[in-house]
Structure 1
Amino acid sequence: MNAGPAHATPPAGVAYQVPGKLTLESLRWHQGKIIAQFEGVHDRNIAEALRGVMLQVDSAEIPAPDDPDEFNDHQLAGLSVVDLDGVELGKVDRIDHAPSSDLIVLKKAAGGTALIPFVSAMVPTVDLAAGRIVVDLPEGLLDL
């Protein structure tokens, strides 16, 4: 069933079908949650129909940053994290973006997770080609 353009409210009793592609116009925080505004979705009922929709982005379409010291999150996920001696500590599960600095969420080789501040003092080397991140961590950081 064709629901028509995204900006039109479907007639009563007709279910709205989520389009295959949505274009993000803006994001904003409201009461601890992100509110996304999509192109052509300017009606509350249509917006409610989008609640819970899983959004995916083709990472191949995202250009790499111009700055060699910046990375897209998807470039880092899954990389090995090693200490200065080359001992593997685990793998990057994801990057969390905190107010003071980004955090590497490390899935530890021994089990569990740890947070590593993504700052040059603790993360001197990111080698995408080798698939690894070298860290220089203060003693006990991974035990927190």
Structure 2
Amino acid sequence: MSEQVEVTVGRFGRAVGIRGEIAVELRTDEPARRFRPGVSLRLGDTGRSVEIDQVRWNRGRLAVTLVGYPDRTAVEALTGLLLHALVPSDERPSEPEEYFDRQLVGLKVLDHRGAQVGTVTEVLHMPAQEVLQVDVTGEERLVPFVSALVPVVDLASGHVQLADVPGLLEDVE
């Protein structure tokens, strides 16, 4: 059995109606995997957990009811709390060419010849695409996370490899 890691999957928003529903601001690309009846989620740093009772989409947003939270007053106390899930550290996304942020952060960044040039420090979720933030000798550089620029992602070896594109990590005069 693999070890487990804690990941942030959402944040409670406002109460929806009077029957104990509350909106969830998603922090996961896979809400169907993380928000199902019977799933238990940790509430921020409170040390408490909640169990999902029902799930539905309301005007494009996820709304849930929770076991033991029967009405609006009960769920209003949860507004703003982050939701965390324990997941297997080796869990993969549903789609084969997708990656969780936790899998990419910390990977070595190799140039097209295979020399290490930096480390992935963060994955930024921009409107058009994801962007890798790369530390190159103390300077942060941004690399669009598309196969034309990052053709190799090798989790087993712990690296991503960049395409031969001038100016990708350095300033071009």
TM over 0.5: yes
Match of 1:113 among 129, 132, 140: 140
Q: Is the 8 A contact 1:59 1:74 kept in 2?
A: no
Counterpart position of 2:63: 37
Query: Hey, what's the Cα distance between the residues in 2 that align with 1:29 and 1:141?
Result: 40
How many residue pairs are counted as aligned between the two chains? Answer: 125
Paired amino acid for 1:75: Q
* 1:20 pairs with 2:45: no
The answer to whether the Cα contact below 8 Å between 1:18 and 1:49 also exists between their aligned partners in 2 is: no
Partner of 2:157: 130
**Aligned-partner Cα distance in 2 for 1:64–1:80:** 20
Q: 1:53 to 1:119 in 2, by over 3 A?
A: same
- Structure (1 or 2) with the greater strand fraction: 2
Structure 2: which 5+ residue stretches go unaligned?
1-19, 22-45
Distance 1:48 1:100, change over 3 A: same
Establish whether residue 51 from structure 1 lines up as the match of residue 79 from structure 2: yes
Q: Deviation per CA, 1:90-142, whole angstroms, max 9, x where unpaired?
A: 22222222232221122x14113222111111011000100110112532233
Which residue of structure 1 lines up, in the alignment, with residue 122 of structure 2? 94
Measure, in 1, the Cα distance between the counterparts of 2:64 and 2:115: 45
Write the distance in 2 (CA, Å) between the matches of 1:105 and 1:74: 13
Shift of 1:70: 2.0
Q: Which residue of 2 aligns with 1:13?
A: none
SS in 1 for 2:165: coil
* Code of the aligned partner of 1:20: S
Shift in alpha-carbon separation, 1:101–1:88, aligned structure 2, 3 A: same
User: What TM-score does the superposition give when structure 1 sets the normalisation length?
Assistant: 0.64
Which structure is higher in RCO with an 8 Å CA cutoff and minimum separation 6? 2
Asked if residue 74 in structure 1 is aligned to residue 102 in structure 2, the reply is yes
